[in-house]
Amino acid sequence: MSDARQLLGIKGGSETTNIWKLRLQLMKPITWIPLLWGVICGAAASGNYHWELSNILASISCMFMSGPLLTGYTQTINDYFDREIDAINEPNRPIPSGAISLFQVKCQIWVLLIAGLGVAYLLDLWAHHTIPSVLLLALGGSFVSFIYSAPPLKLKQNGWLGNYALGASYIALPWWAGQALFGHLTWTTALLTLAYSLSGLGIAVINDFKSVEGDKSLGLESLPVVFGIKNASRISAGMIDIFQLAMVVVLIAIGQHFASVILVLLIIPQITFQDIWLLRDPLKFDVKYQASAQPFLILGMLVTAIAIGHSSLISL
């Protein structure tokens, strides 16, 4: 179990000297899942996805770009710039433990970035885009990832701005990529997914609980540091619930009543798990909460995406 946690990039994993396991740990595979799902949601929202071999291969390639390559790049560069914080919070991580050199980490950052942008370019060629929309999204997301972690901007220094950037990167960007690949990304759906990303802000707060000690010592204003653990857990729960309920209102407004009912039914267990795990002790139960509640969140995203794909909203 400890070995699995180590490979997935979850706190509390065992240490290793295997260079490939270390590289995988830096890429934190557990964080790829929302991105992979986001691409599926975008493809569904396009209203133009067909179960053909070429479409299946293109969607897998888009998920590979969004997850292992560009999210792997994001997580690696975050560990590179957070090595001082990790030396306090997670000293057994690959960089602060000295198990991997900074030169090797830099090489990994560049390889993942270039490979991710290369796949994005090939996807635009496959889709016959006159404007390389997937590549532009990949470039934009990569830039946000850089300024999220790197000084002087280091968006994560600000709890609200940093967490929203993270939430948008995990929800909106892969959705946009999937929708642009198989259809047309509209301003309406772009704005809706940015609103949905405020739920992602709530999820991003959960990741800050484990880093409170290091954030305090280095002056990072994460929400748990600014508001305290209890209040930050309430903010997290509120953001997750309120903006999903806002999507319920949107679905009703566009005539997707059945989808709105399903979304409500998926929000109810999330609220239940918030009461059981998140609001009770977020430091102790953060992993249990995410494992139990997030499946309902991502299913809700897919329900919303399919409903949008079947509505006239997609053409606005």
> What stretches of the chain adopt beta strand conformation (E)?
none
Q: Give the pLDDT score at 316.
A: 43
pLDDT at 284 over 80: yes
Question: Tens digit of pLDDT for each residue in 100-127?
Answer: 999 999 999 999 999 999 999 999 999 9
CA distance 120 to 286: 34
Q: In the predicted model, what is the mean pLDDT of residues 212-221?
A: 81
Which tens digit of pLDDT belongs to each residue from 242-261? 999 999 999 999 999 999 99
Q: In this predicted structure, what is the pLDDT of residue 231? A: 95
| Residues 225/85, Cβ–Cβ less than 8 Å | no
Instruction: Give the pLDDT band of residue 1 (cuts 50, 70, 90).
Output: low
Q: pLDDT tens digits, residue range 136-191?
A: 999 999 999 999 999 998 998 888 999 999 999 999 999 999 999 999 988 888 99
Fold of 2-315: Farnesyl Diphosphate Synthase (1.10.600)
Q: Model pTM?
A: 0.89
**Boundaries of every domain in the chain:** 2-315
Residue 249 φ/ψ, nearest 5 degrees:
-60, -40
Please provide the distance, in angstroms rounded to a whole number, between the alpha carbons at the two ends of the chain.
49
Q: Residue 64 and residue 27: Cα distance in Å, rounded?
A: 13
Cα-trace Rg, the chain: 19
pLDDT of residue 9 exceeding 80:
no
Mean residue pLDDT of the chain comes to 91
Would you list the DSSP string of 232-299?
HHHHHHHHHHHHHHHHHHHHHHTT-HHHHHHHHHHHHHHHHHIIIIITT-HHHHHHHHHHHHHHHHHH
